Amino acid sequence: MRRFLLVLAVIAVGTVGVVTAATAAGRGGDTTPALLARAATLAYQPAAQATGVSPTSPVTVTVTDGTLEQVALTNPQGKQVTGSLNADRTVWTSGEPLGYDTEYTWSGTARGEDGVGVPLAGGFHTVVPTKQVRGVINIGDGRTVGIAAPIEIQFNSHVEDRAAVERALSVRTSVPVEGAWGWLPDEAGGSRVHWRPKEYWPAHTTVSVAAKLYGVDYGGGQFGAADVTSDFRIGRAQVVKADAQSYRMVVVRDGVQVADYPASYGLAADPNRNTRSGIHVVTEKFTDKRMVSEQYGYDVVEKWAVRMSNNGEFIHANPASANAQGSSNVTHGCVNLSLENAKAYYDTALYGDPVEVTGTPVQLSAKDGDIWDWTLSWDQWQRLSAL
């Protein structure tokens, strides 16, 4: 009996030793056992086989339980989309917009914790616009403009989702300037949106406009064709004070009166010949401008013509009205000056200068031309925003 118990004790001690040795070996290992290592899992954005994808949507591939070794996103011509990996090599993100109506395909490899490579595969197709709509900014890079110049973006088609477009627009200025976008009735074959400051621009402000329109859904299957930008400068603060009752035209520059010209305005007795009261904006200049009216039977070329609205109103030289300049209003709506005075003013005029006409019975309005922005109060202007 004593011998049998001794044998059992030896067997028990041996068993404990084996278990202890195995446990010690497990604690001392530096790597996860192969059975516990995980395979790489891939997730794509947009999802695999997605269609109608915006070309500006984020494009990523993310690996879980592994790292990305190689990544390529390729169009049918074999061009790879630029992109970058994060520090852990777990996420690849595209670095450029994609093309419209294009199939993109993933390729490359991710390696899991288990050491096994997993290929990137699949792809997606970007949206197919019914039309790509272009926008054009009225003020080009490097220009210097007057203190009443609005920023205008003219589109070559009707914009249905104006809020989406407006969210893609920004204006940055070198000094704080309060302003807002306003949508005006469609013109020239498409929609148009203007940015107007609450008050005239501060002189010598630098302005940067960015319209990130590429990829924007305009509604109705139309999308933005391209981004547009402009960097320009506001010039000196020149304002024309045009009081028809005084028969004078006064030029004020940076708060100082620099000219006072005898002038003749539109004949008040004929509403069609009235010079419109309100803030006009200089848009064009001509050394010689042909002026024609079938209604009033004239066809003449006038010198030093500065356009101040699209309804035919100019500040220009007119020797024929010389006797009336400074004493009566006889014109067909323009502001007439002598040859010498018209040339002197012409040389100072900039696109965007305000011409403040007062003292006439008819007000400038939307029907008088494209830049009637300043005929609206600030509250009225803000209500034109889609946002």
Q: Which two tokens stand for residue 245?
A: 């009752």
β-pairing verdict for 190-197 and 222-224: unpaired
Q: Which two tokens stand for residue 247?
A: 């028969």
Task: Establish whether 158 is a catalytic residue.
Answer: no
β-pairing verdict for 169-173 and 206-211: antiparallel
DSSP 207-244: EEEEE--TT-EEETTEEE---EEEEEEE---EEEEEET
Nearest alpha carbon to residue 146 among 300, 338, 350, 356: 350
Q: Active-site residue among 194, 280, 332, 334? A: 334
Query: Which helix (DSSP H) or strand (DSSP E) does residue 316 occupy?
Result: strand 314-317
Nearest alpha carbon to residue 99 among 61, 136, 73, 120: 73
Q: Which two tokens stand for residue 36?
A: 């516990």
Is residue 349 within 8 A of residue 360, CB to CB? The reply is: no
Q: Which two tokens stand for residue 12?
A: 């028990």
Helices (H) and strands (E) in the chain — how many of each? 4, 29
For residue 141, the 8-state DSSP code is T
Q: Which two tokens stand for residue 133?
A: 């709509």
DSSP 34-96: GGGPPPPEEEEESPTTEEEE-TTS--EEEEESEEEEEEEEE-TTSPBPPEEE-TTS-EEEE-S
Query: Which helix (DSSP H) or strand (DSSP E) does residue 144 occupy?
Result: strand 144-145
Q: How far apart are the first and last CA of the chain?
A: 99
Q: Which two tokens stand for residue 351?
A: 């696109």
Is residue 134 within 8 A of residue 226, CB to CB? The reply is: yes
Give catalytic residues, as residue numbers. Answer: 316, 334
